Amino acid sequence: MRCTILPPHILEHLAETADDRALREMARRTLTMSSAHRAERRAVAFAPVAPTEDFVPERAVHDARHRERLPGDLVRAEGQAPTGDAAVDRAYDWLGVTFGFFAEIYRRDSIDGAGMTMVSTVHYGRGYANAFWNGRQMVYGDGDGRLFLSFTGPLEVTGHELVHGVTQHTADLEYHGQSGALNESISDVFGSLVKQWHLRQTADEADWIIGAGLLGPDVNGVGLRSMKEPGTAYDDPRLGKDPQPGHMDDYVETHHDNGGVHINSGIPNRAFYLAAVALGGHAWEKAGRIWYDTLTGDAMKPTIEFDAFAAATVETAERLYGAGGTESRAVRDAWREVGVES
């Protein structure tokens, strides 16, 4: 059965009343998709979920109406019909996809693991070229329309911001220096995995770009960061050149950007990419599982640095897949290739 061909009112009815739990869940999941998703021709229907699936998204999208007050006016609550405002509806849809990813793949119920309402505010400020997580919610600007388009556009931006919330509720990594770069990297890793899952891409097929489609048409760049080849995402006279290193030899010492958290995240980003490609298949299944269990595991502490995090991922891989296995070897080799000893 393809839920995507059913009109929303039938899906809503099914989501509420169907006797079969799996059918209810499938209807609910499809309702979290958008016209944007339906237009994504490469996307396929979601696999039927396990009958124990009982997590339900709770979304609330607000409109700042170009002011900077949060959360702004509530314009679309859970289950409500599309508003016709592309930023509102896309934010709503991408929250649904991100929720679905964590629920289905890692059995996580929302940001805090306990069904927390996912709150987003769109149209924040005027020409605001940014998105952020403020400790309670996600916030998106429309971009300046020249260098940056709307931050509600790319799915991985929503994934990235929501995962800042997941990190806050788990490892709570301090947002400066190496722990801050790990915080950033974890948001990029799972932001990219949400998109790969949505498009059903293998590690080889994925673009590993963060912020694809975010740059204006005249900007020379494919996005903001490349997990595959850090430092190559853009090179433009107005934006400058992508400053990310992909190896510890090029680690950037700076007091800007909280000690370069958006710069040095290129190093753990590339380690994840290398591990994922070495393991093959869908990156969320093994590499993603290893990173997720590490993030939510006991080895983490807020000030952890690259080498201790790397060692923790190797230990997780050994625990999940056995010591001396191909998985733990792939993870260790990946860190070694970016100059981090685990």
Partner 1 sequence: MRVRVIRSGGFAGVERRGERDAASDPVLRDLLDRVDLDGAPPAEEAPDRFSYEIDIDGRVATVGEAQLTGPLRDLVRHVLDEPD
Helix (H) or strand (E) holding 256: none
Nearer to partner 1, 139 or 331 (CB): 139
CB 200 within 8 A of CB 105: no
Q: Which of 81, 94, 195, 101 is nearest to 150 (CA)?
A: 94
Least gap, CB of 201 to partner 1 (angstroms): 23
Nearer to partner 1, 14 or 166 (CB): 166
Collapse the DSSP code of 118 into the 3-class scheme (helix H, G, I; strand E, B; otherwise coil) and give the result.
strand
- Beta carbons within 10 angstroms of residue 10's beta carbon: 12
Nearer to partner 1, 83 or 168 (CB): 168
Which residues, at least 6 apart from 116, have a Cβ–Cβ distance to it below 8 Å?
Answer: 58, 110, 165
In angstroms, the CA 181 to CA 186 distance is: 9
Catalytic residue among 161, 184, 318, 327: 161
Nearer to partner 1, 62 or 160 (CB): 160
Residue 77 DSSP code: E
In angstroms, the CA 315 to CA 186 distance is: 18
Least gap, CB of 328 to partner 1 (angstroms): 30
Structure tokens at 285: 């299944």
Nearer to partner 1, 264 or 313 (CB): 264
Q: Which of 100, 290, 269, 295 is nearest to 200 (CA)?
A: 100
- Residue 262 annotated as catalytic: yes
Question: What dihedral do alpha carbons 154, 263, 255, 150 form, nearest 10°?
Answer: -10
Least gap, CB of 2 to partner 1 (angstroms): 35
In angstroms, the CA 131 to CA 140 distance is: 4
Least gap, CB of 132 to partner 1 (angstroms): 4
Least gap, CB of 40 to partner 1 (angstroms): 22
Residue 217 DSSP code: T
For partner 1, the binding residues (CB under 8 A) are: 126-127, 129-135, 148, 151, 157, 160-161, 164, 174-176, 180, 183-184, 187, 211, 214, 224-225, 239-240, 243, 255-258, 261-263
- Residue 9 annotated as catalytic: no
Catalytic residues: 161, 262
